[in-house]
Structure 1
């Protein structure tokens, strides 16, 4: 009865579900492509290519909205390459999976087996396509697809042997992701083969799309953990290097050199830990925005979802460009905050207005502040203050000249206030507060910055008490 019931899941290619899935795949692909340039690890590039090829291969199944109009000039090419795209993204799936797990150190035999099969599948696909191009006989593609499907299924099942054996915590993300898609694919296939639903009911496609989303969520979480482990390993390696040098200096009785090394160690370690915190904050933008895109699509507001995707792509590109720097000028920070607030206004349907003020004597292109210090506080003002307010809210950001060498930044909102939300969102508040405390401690420890922070209610006597957060930022000297 469930499969026969009227549901939004029955026609995913018509009611916006496929657009939602494609939006997620596009953002994931773009995010990890930019992450590849930042971290220089091939696993992010392979995953970006894999998710992008899936995105491209399903563009032609969208029946409504703006996508059919956009791809109309290339729809013939997409139809011609449809089978090739499926072959290619399956091959890149295996390339990504075993780059992600890094199976070579654990089993050279399985590494060679997997490498041989990937090369064999690629050559096989190339031969089928070449025979089709030479002869024009579509049977080469049809029969080739059957052979490829059988081989890829057997290969997929065989790889679980090394996956379960390998001593690597990342394997659980790989297993969970691949099994999610595999199980959903089997269910969808059974529904189709045994005609469990009428032909016009396409709930099997919704089940398959659900598997695609689950797989990519597990893979993205796994890549996030891998990134964190790499950063921690680098920090630990740096600790060991400095400890070794410190011991050598002790043996040589070079006290002055030892003190200099310790100062350098403290500074560089603090900078590495700051980088780790920045890296962990990156995915926050992605998943917040996915929620907004889902809302617009479920409301059949295709134009708004398209506009949101364009704005979000621009913001995440700006975010990655700035996240490479340890500090940015006020002008760059204002652009980042403005872009973020514009997107949040879309997400909350203009529930608030904002204003950014800068003292006339401040040179916005010259004065610098730490990267990603102000924006998270602005986000807290929106999510914890304005969002819980019954009527419309206001957010004001002031950049003031505090003294000759100090900058004062105020983030003011007329939301429900800290006390009204701390009980509801105690864990989130505590986590956010801990991250900010850690960052401020690291900044002040680096010897480059002296940052003071305070927070209090704007109007304690009113129901909506509001909040004002203040930073006094002083730069001690330029980075070495």
Structure 2
């Protein structure tokens, strides 16, 4: 009986490991989207020809750094939040370039977060940010004034990441036909829940609308919550 239980536990662990590896590969493929790469390089090329070689050099540097971080973080279960946010901001800045500054963004770290010592699974936050940009903000009738807020904090022993936008709501996104293109988000959610089962993170993802003072819908908020994990160095601080 004991031997059978050990074999079953080992088989379950191996299945989970293979599933996580496959999900990491799919997440990496989703992030290395050929359209994003081509359009980013095309936008940089446009800067070279028409605007400023200095700006082109700046964005080319950001693009190459993002590629290096994405490739470097591939196949890792954990990275520190500082590195993950660096890659995230590089991604957002390139999307701003592609879409001609149609939106502004702000990343806010709450005082209780030491981002250099906080651990997160890589390739988790970016798909939700991408979804907010592509399927919420860029679907607004206006071609400017989009806003994206990313707030990261801690309540007791839980880390939370909020991605908030002033884009269209879920009904409008579904009517536009963009709601079906959620592969990156689905992969990220599945990876998070698999990591949650493996490390007992009690992770959750909550989606809700944001309302103004007149109770009119003015945006959307996705909240990712999980057990807070820190590096050993932070415990000595």
Relative to the length of structure 1, the TM-score reads: 0.42
**Corresponding residue of 1:450:** 202
Q: Please state how far the C-alpha of 1:402 moved relative to its aligned partner.
A: 1.8
> Aligned to 2:35, which of 283, 287, 290?
287
CA–CA separation in structure 1 for the residues paired with 2:230 and 2:16? 13
Q: Report the equivalent of 1:414.
A: 166
Return the alpha-carbon distance in structure 2 between the equivalents of residues 477 and 365 of structure 1.
9
Partner of 2:235: none
Report the number of matched residues: 223
What is the aligned partner in structure 2 of residue 271 from structure 1?
A: 20
Summarize the alignment of residues 57-68 of structure 1 with structure 2, pairs less than 5 Å apart. none
5 Å-filtered alignment, 1:353-372, equals 353-372=104-123
Unaligned stretches of 5+ residues in structure 1: 1-249
Larger radius of gyration: 1
**400, 412, 418: which one aligns with 2:153:** 400
Pair 396,477 (structure 1): closer, same or farther in 2 beyond 3 Å: closer
Matches within 5 A, 1:109-188: none
Aligned to 1:473: 226
1:328 equivalent in alignment to 2:79: yes
Q: CA deviation at 1:433?
A: 4.6
> How far has the Cα of 1:256 moved from its partner?
4.3
- Counterpart secondary structure, 1:395: strand
* 1:105-155 CA-partner distances (Å, limit 9, x unpaired): xxxxxxxxxxxxxxxxxxxxxxxxxxxxxxxxxxxxxxxxxxxxxxxxxxx
Query: Greater helix share, 1 or 2?
Result: 1
Find the partner of 2:92 among 341, 345, 369.
341
In 1, Cα distance between the equivalents of 2:199 and 2:20?
11
Aligned residue in 1 for 2:11: 262
Instruction: Give the Å deviation of 1:257.
Output: 3.0
C-alpha RMSD of matched pairs (Å): 2.8
Q: Tell me the equivalent position of 2:131.
A: 380
Task: State the alpha-carbon separation in 1 of the partners of residues 116 and 46 from structure 2.
Answer: 42
The answer to which of 268-277 and 338-347 deviates more is 268-277
State the distance in 2 between where 1:330 and 1:366 align.
7
SS in 1 for 2:210: coil
Relative distance call for 1:371 and 1:344 in structure 2 (3 A) is same
CA pair 437-372 structure 1, distance change in 2 beyond 3 A: closer
| 1:472 partner SS | strand
* Matched-pair contact (CA < 8 Å) for 1:267–1:445: no
Residues 369 and 473, structure 1, Cα contact 8 Å, conserved in 2: no
Which structure would you say has the larger RCO, counting Cα contacts within 8 Å and 6 or more residues apart?
2
CA distance in structure 1 between the partners assigned to 2:13 and 2:179 by the alignment: 38
Deviations 1:194-248 (A, max 9, x none): xxxxxxxxxxxxxxxxxxxxxxxxxxxxxxxxxxxxxxxxxxxxxxxxxxxxxxx
What do the CA deviations read for 1:422-460 (whole angstroms, capped 9, x no partner)?
22213214x345334432332233345321001111128
How has the CA–CA distance of structure 1 residues 371 and 454 changed in structure 2, closer, same or farther, with 3 Å as cutoff?
Answer: same
